[in-house]
Chain A
Amino acid sequence: EAQVTQNPRYLITVTGKKLTVTCSQNMNHEYMSWYRQDPGLGLRQIYYSMNVEVTDKGDVPEGYKVSRKEKRNFPLILESPSPNQTSLYFCASSFLDPSYNEQFFGPGTRLTVL
């Protein structure tokens, strides 16, 4: 089944404790992206990647890191989480071809930073 998987789905952590949220897709998509969703602010893009070893900042990259060492994986790293990073996070992937670039979204990761 074609899908985007995220782990963990739920995470409660404390300020300053490094964490990684994994994202994996099995559709051979070139493009992958991370979003956060907050009440009243909608979905905002954090980082995106157009291929292996190619990443770029979205609208709200501060406090986050990403890497794209393999085509299928795009982990989101919070080196020193803070309470303002409490949010619902979505990973997405798609082909780059504009005729086919339907984005597939993962189920979301709900992160709470105390």
Chain B
Amino acid sequence: DAKTTQPNSMESNEEEPVHLPCNHSTISGTDYIHWYRQLPSQGPEYVIHGLTSNVNNRMASLAIAEDRKSSTLILHRATLRDAAVYYCILSNNYGQNFVFGPGTRLSVLP
């Protein structure tokens, strides 16, 4: 399975943008890039996913490098509620064997 690498932790100030990086140099052509987050004491929650083009939704934006070997999750204005562990995951066409790595623990400072 293609793997991802993310920083262990990051810190941001409230109401500032946050850029969470993810490297996936062995990504295959059919792998989608997914981002999930897990708030304390909750199950993981979908954030965004994409294949080649940049994606935007109400929660975040996903910027995908042209060679697809890296991507960045962008939270446009961090809030205290965004403090969570963020996971970058690669998934093939059928979503099988969805592998969570250790993720990035994001702290948001007031």
Question: Which residues of A line the B interface, CB within 8 A?
Answer: 31, 33, 35, 42-45, 48, 50, 56, 58-59, 90, 92, 94, 96, 98, 101-108
**Residues 91-106 of chain B: 1 if any A CB is under 8 Å from the residue's CB, otherwise 0?**
1111111111111000
B91 pairs with A35, CB closer than 8 A: no
Question: Which residues of B line the A interface, CB within 8 A?
Answer: 30, 32, 36, 42-46, 49, 51, 87, 91-103
Interface Cβ pair total, 8 Å cutoff:
62
Which residues of chain B come closer than 8 Å to A94, judged between CB atoms? Answer: 95
Question: With A42-B101, A42-B103, A98-B32 in contact, is A105–B43 under 8 Å at CB?
Answer: yes
Which residues of chain B come closer than 8 Å to A58, judged between CB atoms? Answer: 97
Within 8 Å by CB of B95, from A90, A96, A107, lies A96
If over half of A's interface residues share one DSSP class (helix, strand or loop), that class is named, otherwise mixed; here it is strand
Instruction: Compute how far the CA of A48 lies from the CA of B95 in the bound complex, rounded to whole angstroms.
Output: 10
A48 pairs with B97, CB closer than 8 A: yes
Question: With A42-B101, A42-B103 in contact, is A56–B96 under 8 Å at CB?
Answer: yes
Within 8 Å by CB of B36, from A31, A44, A96, A103, lies A103
A68 to chain B, nearest CB (A): 14
A35 pairs with B96, CB closer than 8 A: no
Q: What are some 28 contacts across the A-B interface (CB < 8 A)? A: A31-B94, A31-B96, A35-B100, A42-B101, A43-B44, A43-B100, A45-B98, A48-B96, A50-B96, A56-B96, A59-B97, A59-B99, A90-B43, A92-B43, A92-B44, A92-B98, A96-B95, A98-B30, A98-B91, A98-B92, A98-B93, A101-B32, A101-B49, A101-B95, A102-B46, A103-B46, A103-B98, A107-B43
B94 pairs with A33, CB closer than 8 A: no
B43 pairs with A42, CB closer than 8 A: no
Instruction: Compute how far the CA of A50 lies from the CA of B92 in the bound complex, rounded to whole angstroms.
Output: 13
Instruction: Compute how far the CA of A83 lies from the CA of B107 in the bound complex, rounded to whole angstroms.
Output: 33
A111 to chain B, nearest CB (A): 15
Question: With A90-B44, A106-B43 in contact, is A98–B100 under 8 Å at CB?
Answer: no
| Cβ-closest 10 pairs across A and B | A105-B43, A43-B100, A102-B46, A101-B95, A90-B43, A105-B44, A98-B93, A42-B102, A98-B32, A108-B43
